[in-house]
Amino acid sequence: MTSDRASDGGELMTAGRFALATMLSAKALRLYADRNLLPPRVVDPANGYRYYGADQVRTGWRIALLRSAELSLDEIAGIVGASAADGPELLERAADAAQRRAEGTQTVLTRARLTLRGEPSMTEPTTRVESDRPVLSVLRRMRPDEMDIVITEQVDRLRSIAAKAGLTVTGPSFGIFHAPITDESNGPLEITLPVDGLTEPADGDVRSYRLGGGPVAERLAEGKETDFPQILALYDEVHAWMTSSGRTSVGPPREIWHNAPSDPEPLRLTISWPYTSA
């Protein structure tokens, strides 16, 4: 590196000096460079040393502020990379999402307090007997923030397959959670569509089979209750009711989706958990 000026005339700073100016660690700078969130202005091809422009200091501080508010790197990238006109609107969306996450955290903590005190569920689930039925299904792994898009795409796909096979959809689509979908686990989720018969799907990853029935415990969730992580508190309510009443879960829990996230009305779903009596 032979010059202390960038090609546009701005002053260049070593990574160490830039880290001090922005209070970002070397590890954070490497991560942000890898994500193209805050790439160095110049990288010396001979020794790999990184140099930043003095004009990038404000961007570094902005990233640090947003990161301290626990925004995701994807959210930060959108805000930092947006135009002057779009940036404020994206920030407000992120702020609204952060507020929803904070409310969700309080809901989950309230539920945790009840369990620690040994208090009963806030709402007792309803029960019914589900009959055997043919279904089309496909397995997918995803993060919580990807669920709305992935589920919508795959339900539309299953409906198209059913129509081509001459099958009639007999109820709302639902998901079978073979493993949790959280920030630490990505499933898989079995996206399922009940139909009136079996078929040989043309798509190789789609199954057609008969799903067994039996008693299920159910809890309706609406609006904010359907958001993550609030929804986890409702799952815990249903599971606590089963265990406290001498029942045992006999399969993974399900979510029955009564409408789509894109619909104008609030989202409605039913947690449905198969069980057997002792």
How many Cβ atoms are within 10 Å of 25's Cβ, its own excluded? 10
Half-sphere exposure of 188 (CA within 13 A, CB side): 7
The reported pLDDT for the residue numbered 180 is 86
**pTM confidence score:** 0.65
pLDDT tens, residue by residue, 115-162: 676 666 557 899 999 999 999 999 999 988 889 999 999 999 999 999
- What is the rounded CA–CA span in Å between residue 31 and residue 35? 6
- What does R_g of the chain's alpha carbons equal in angstroms? 25
pLDDT at 6 over 60: no
Is the domain 12-81 a CATH 3.40.50.300 member? no
CA nearest neighbour of 229 among 182, 185, 176: 182
pLDDT band at 3 (very low <50, low <70, confident <90, very high): very low
- What is the rounded CA–CA span in Å between residue 96 and residue 162? 38
Domain coordinates of the chain in residue numbers?
A: 12-81, 126-277
Bridging pattern class, strands 126-130 and 42-43: unpaired
DSSP letter string, 132-180: PEEEEEEEE---GGGHHHHHHHHHHHHHHHHHHTTPPB-S--EEEESS-
pLDDT tens, residue by residue, 192-232: 999 999 999 878 899 999 999 999 999 999 988 888 778 88
Largest Cα separation within the chain, whole Å, is: 78
pLDDT at 10 over 90: no
Residue in this structure with the two tokens 């001979």, named with its chain if needed: 46
- What is the rounded CA–CA span in Å between residue 170 and residue 165? 14
- What is the rounded CA–CA span in Å between residue 154 and residue 141? 12
pLDDT tens, residue by residue, 80-114: 888 888 988 999 988 888 887 777 777 767 767 76
The reported pLDDT for the residue numbered 1 is 44
When the pLDDT of each residue in the chain is averaged and rounded to a whole number, the result is: 88
Is the domain 126-277 a CATH 3.20.80.10 member? yes
Lowest mean pLDDT among 30-34, 38-42, 77-81, 108-112: 108-112
Percent of the chain surpassing pLDDT 90: 54
- What is the rounded CA–CA span in Å between residue 55 and residue 254? 51
pLDDT tens, residue by residue, 156-189: 999 999 999 999 999 999 999 999 888 778 889 9
